[in-house]
Amino acid sequence: MPNFIRSYLIAAIIVALTITIRPGNAQTPPSADGSRNPMALLNRYQQAADQLDLTPDQRRQIDGFFKQAIDDLRNAAPDLQNASADEKAAKFREILSDLRDQVGGALNDEQKQTLKDKLQSLRRPTSAPIEPTSQPSLKTSASQPDNRAKTGTALDRLRSGLDQISLTADQKQKVDSLLETMQGEVKQLREQVRGGTVQRSDLKEKLAAILEDTRAKLREILTADQQQHLRSLMQNQSVGSDAPPRPLPNRAASRQPTTAPAHSNTASKVEPSPQLTASPTTQIQAPAPEVGEPAPDFNLRMSNGNAVSLTSNSRHVLVLVFGSYSAPVFRDHAAALSQLREKYSSRGVQFLVVYTKEQHPAGGWEVQRNKVQNISIPPATTLTQRNAMADQMHEQLHLDVPIVVDSMDDATAKAYGVNDTVPAYIIDRSGKIAFRQSWLEMDALQQALDDVLARP
């Protein structure tokens, strides 16, 4: 589609989306630099994509994605005529986010980095967010600021900050997977609000729960320096708040009772995390066992019916990995995990994969990686179905590691604090946690194995 036609269509639709509720009102004014104007956002993304060195097939794909986004905007316009400014902005962010994921799925890693760099060069300093319309019923007094969109803005700042941090390839993969999950939860929550299954009054609290959960998982992925850099970036982007953004939560602090501070030293107190309602796809559960603590016992079965328990491995060092076929991070590390088992089995190390609920099931949040690779797995409703999926994963990934299947309530995964991640544990011969990762990472796992085996 020629750029000038595309821009004209986008402009026409954006005008329809930004008309205020009351007849005769002016359009919602853009921010001073246009950075939060919908037209500016979409045109900036279009401009960056048009500068990429693409194959003809990629160009056709990406033009199709933009056409779909335009169609989505056009179809949404009538329903949003009487919507609030926040609702219009949320819909636009949803469509733009889908467009970003689709374009990313059509690019190789080098092109993705180039697109990221071009977007960064086009990005102007963030200014004040779009003000709500002048409809009196939607305005809030100065003494009671409107916080409805603040959590959504925080999610945007988090994504923007992560885009500016230098990550390793493995970190980037994990962060991308985490952000896809976060975006899916937000999208599902908004659909539930529109469908009436979630009250709009609960939206802020549930969005905050998603953000809190994402921050906790990021702490397991980023180094201390990267976390500090991210905090600084988010603070620089923060607008309209006297308080700096909340730091990534301290996992040790989260294990303390919520009625007392995590440390007695008043100079370094960590306030307990607020009790937040769980996000739509995330269940609040006990924290993962820490290094040095006894490993939770389990008694599971392989798909062939053979029983496997923690006590049956009591004389061996055990590497325990949780995952499912719909988890891209697990698939990416399957071959390396098999190689690690081959290397260390002669030293008495046992390896075991626990197959859990699907991380990205069909009909739920289907991440772009799975769509590109034509992986669509419905959620299992019986243990027989989950056994079949474990067998399929074993065959498709040529996984040379025994697989046991968790119960339908994922009791073992919950006992180990598994929460939409692909974690790994090393359990020593005494049955205690010797090492843990929230996200499977082979180099660190191998180094930890060497350290554990070197102990007397």
Tokens, residue 402: 């025994």
Q: Which helix (H) or strand (E) holds 299?
A: strand 299-302
Contact 158, 211 (CB under 8 A): yes
pLDDT value of position 40: 61
List, for residues 228-269, the tens digit of each pLDDT value: 778 777 666 544 443 444 445 444 443 433 333 333 333 333
List, for residues 152-199, the tens digit of each pLDDT value: 556 666 777 787 888 888 888 888 888 888 877 787 777 777 777 877
Q: Residue ranges of the chain with pLDDT lower than 50?
A: 1-2, 4-5, 8-9, 15-36, 124-151, 238-247, 249-284
Cα(14)–Cα(429) distance, integer angstroms: 63
Tokens, residue 50: 């048009």
Sorted by sequence, the CB contacts under 8 Å of residue 387 that are 6+ apart come out as 303, 405
Domains of the chain as residue ranges with CATH: 3-124+149-237 (no CATH), 299-453 (3.40.30.10)
Tokens, residue 449: 């194995």
Q: Provide the edge-to-edge strand list for the sheet that holds 424-427.
A: 307-309, 299-302, 403-405, 349-355, 317-323, 424-427, 433-437
Cα(24)–Cα(355) distance, integer angstroms: 58
> DSSP of 118-178, one letter per residue?
HHHHHPPPP-PPPPPPS-GGG---TTS---TTHHHHHHHHHHHHHHTS---HHHHHHHHHH
Contact 385, 358 (CB under 8 A): no
pLDDT value of position 135: 38
pLDDT value of position 280: 40
